[in-house]
Amino acid sequence: MTASQQDIQAQLAALRNSYLLRLQQDWPEITAQAGQLLDESNTGWQSIAKTLKQRFHTLAGSAGTFGMPQLGQQAKALEMELDAWLNGGGRPETELKQQFLHMVQELSHHTSNKPEASAAPLFQPVDDEFTRKAHIAIFSKDADLGKQLTSAMDPFGHQVDSFQEFDALKAALTSDRPDVLILDMSGNRLPQGMKSLLQQLLIDEQSSMVLFIVGKKESFNHYLTAVRLGAGGYFIKPLDAAAIELRIQRLLTQRQQARFRILIVDDDVMLAQHYQLIIEQAGMEAKVVNDPTKMLIGLQGFQPDVILLDVNMPDCTGPELAQIIRFKDEWLGVPIVYLSSETDSQRQLDALVKAGDDFISKPITDQALAVTVFARAQRARQLAEMMTRDSLTGLLQHATVKERLSDEIAKAKRSKQELIVVMLDLDHFKRVNDQYGHLVGDQVISSLANLLQQKLRKTDVIGRYGGEEFLLALPDCSLQKAKSIIDGIRQSFQAIPFSGQEQSFQCTFSAGLARVDTSQSTDENIDRADQALYQAKHNGRNRVELA
């Protein structure tokens, strides 16, 4: 357990103790209100019943979270009893009142119990260090396949080790586990011991290795075999090295993506703090808003991937708050997950109809909370990526990359830092499509996209502007440094071997760079870089020119 996780565990323990202390302090008032409710001379019993119902509702939702599930269950029973009295329209008979008082007395026996320990979190925090380079191991009896992949991966800076003998692979995997293992199953059965080795490596919680299978056919049975081996990708011969590299880049991007951001809106301060600690322990980032009227401020400053929203809050219900969130187009795609101890299925459905996406019943175990939130956040980010990313390259689409460039220009104006805009275009790309076909042309485009993602910084903006043209924005970078970087990428790209119609060939690109003028519009800055690109084409292609 890391120091930060130990700190979170200590905070969770302190929070549970604080919750128990608060419960013990509040209990005399709760029992006094119960006595007032049963007093025949008290004509305002409905008001007391409503107050008690809310208190038991809160207790039903929080007690289980803090390790006292029986307390929460009994509080829920009392809440439902009070709800029935209020909806019945009259004070209950003496027998029912005595039953209620007995339930309250039974409940008091649990307020001094020590809370149970919470479950360990499922997910570990992500590593903030970012790299686009992977360690790849290849196992194939086909020496040519190993050479082909090694040659294709080399310009991207990946470390590639190729093996033809199982014993050598096993020894290497034991001492130095790769990011990706590419296993060729196209010609032979698995060596004896390979299946058990894979199981050992892939179920290891400390391992992040991904298995790619190379097969000879695309069929359901072949896919099923790969899945049962634990594969995360399946490719057939002749291999599309660009497709494999793109999958590796997506894997690295997912592994190094920014932490998921979770906004928690709940008026129960302690419960919200507990959720926050569990979510942060799972490697995500969490922010708490206890006052529903401050929710919009929390949204703007935090940009959450998921919103956890309590259903029952004073002055504003969760469904009402969800509908306010949906007023803004920018928040339409953010999942809203309701949190409530409400067990009535119709009320749950009514809440979901009003702008919600999922419903979690309190109490929820720590592990279940982490898993549910993580899965929702992951799916939401994947969908957002699909909406803004080019399907072939995974780069930003035309409109999105222009929007991001506009944002970077605004930042550069505020910070007074240099910003470089780059227009980049493949040379003689029509010849590639005409001579080798559009599938090979797509491989060329994908390879350049992968190389750009691998060589540029995480803070750089990369987009497919259209066809074989790319638009880049390099913040906090001088014009000469940008030229050196793009020229290095140009040299790496022209070294990548492509194949089509049993021929090997190389491709090149030309680029134009311009220092952004913050007094000009986005289109004007793009146009200056485009003019430099035109000059590079005019001067012979396969070169970089400055505006």
What does the block give as tokens for 417? Answer: 């830092």
Of the candidates 356, 273, 290, the residue with the CA atom closest to the CA atom of residue 319: 356
CA distance 292 to 290: 6
- Residue 102: per-residue pLDDT: 63
For residue 93, indicate whether it is catalytic.
no
The pLDDT assigned to 76 comes to 77
pLDDT of residue 406: 93
∠ CA 379-383-386 to the nearest 5 degrees?
140
Exposure of 340 in the CB half-sphere (CA atoms within 13 A): 25
| Contact assessment for residue 117 and residue 67, using Cβ atoms and an 8 Å cutoff | yes
Would residue 313 be called left, alpha or beta, if left means φ above 0 and alpha means ψ between -120 and 50 degrees?
A: beta
Q: Given this model, what pLDDT does residue 97 score? A: 58
Distances (CA, A) of 521 to 407, 449, 516, 525, 526: 11, 26, 10, 6, 9
Domain locations along the chain: 13-108, 135-255, 261-387, 398-546
Return d(Cα 56, Cα 58) in angstroms, integer: 5
Q: How far apart are CA 404 and CA 421, in angstroms?
A: 12
Residue 464 sits at φ, ψ, to 5 deg, of: -90, 110
Burial degree of 78 (CB within 10 A; 0-12, 13-18, 19+): buried
Q: pLDDT value at position 532?
A: 96
Helix (H, G, I), strand (E, B) or coil at 184: strand
Residue 266 in contact with residue 290, Cβ under 8 Å? yes
Distance CA 446, CA 505 (A): 16
Can you list the positions of beta strands (E) in 140-237?
159-163, 180-184, 210-215, 231-236
The angle that helices 522-538 and 398-415 make with each other, rounded to 10 degrees, is 110
- Active-site residue identified among 245, 468, 469, 545: 468
Chain centroid, CA 216 distance in Å: 34
Which CATH number applies to 398-546? 3.30.70.270
The answer to whether the CB of 141 falls within 8 A of the CB of 188 is yes
Q: Which fold has domain 13-108?
A: Four Helix Bundle (Hemerythrin (Met), subunit A) (1.20.120)
Pairwise CA distance, residues 193 & 171, whole Å? 13
Backbone angles phi, psi at 208, to 5 degrees: -115, 15
How many other CB atoms sit within 10 Å of the CB of residue 481? 13
What tokens appear for 358 in the block?
């999922």
Gyration radius (Cα) of the chain, Å: 30
Contacts for 133 with CB less than 8 Å, ≥ 6 apart? 156, 157, 158, 159, 454
Intrachain domains 135-255 and 261-387 with the same fold? yes
pLDDT of residue 66: 76
Q: Which CATH superfamily is domain 135-255 in?
A: Response regulator (3.40.50.2300)
Please name which of 287, 307, 293 lies closest in space to residue 358, comparing C-alpha atoms. 307
Segment holding 360, helix H or strand E: strand 358-361
Residue 134 near residue 169 (C-beta atoms within 8 A)? no
For helices 438-455 and 241-255, what crossing angle results, to 10°? 30
Strands (E), 438-502: 461-466, 469-475, 498-500
pLDDT at 397: 92
The architecture in CATH of the region 261-387 reads 3-Layer(aba) Sandwich (3.40)
Output the CA–CA distances (angstroms, integers) from residue 9 to 16, 44, 205, 268, 328, in the order listed. Answer: 11, 45, 20, 20, 37
pLDDT of residue 42: 59
- The neighbour count for residue 316, using CB atoms within 10 Å, is 15
E strands, 140-298, in order: 159-163, 180-184, 210-215, 231-236, 261-265, 285-289
Query: 3-class DSSP state for residue 83?
Result: helix
Is residue 211 within 8 A of residue 184, CB to CB? The reply is no
pLDDT per residue as tens, the chain (547 positions): 555 667 777 777 777 777 777 777 777 777 777 777 766 565 677 787 788 777 777 777 777 777 777 777 777 777 777 777 777 756 555 555 565 666 566 656 655 544 444 444 444 443 433 346 788 999 998 888 888 888 878 777 788 999 999 999 988 888 888 889 999 988 767 888 888 888 887 776 556 788 999 998 888 988 998 899 889 889 988 787 777 877 887 777 666 667 889 999 988 888 888 889 888 888 889 999 888 888 888 787 788 989 998 887 877 888 888 888 888 877 888 889 988 776 667 777 777 777 778 888 777 788 888 888 888 888 888 787 777 888 888 899 999 999 999 999 999 999 999 999 999 999 999 999 999 998 889 989 988 998 998 888 888 999 999 999 999 999 999 999 999 999 999 999 998 888 887 788 999 999 999 999 999 999 999 999 999 999 999 999 999 999 8
Q: Report whether 250 contacts 244 (CB < 8 A).
A: no
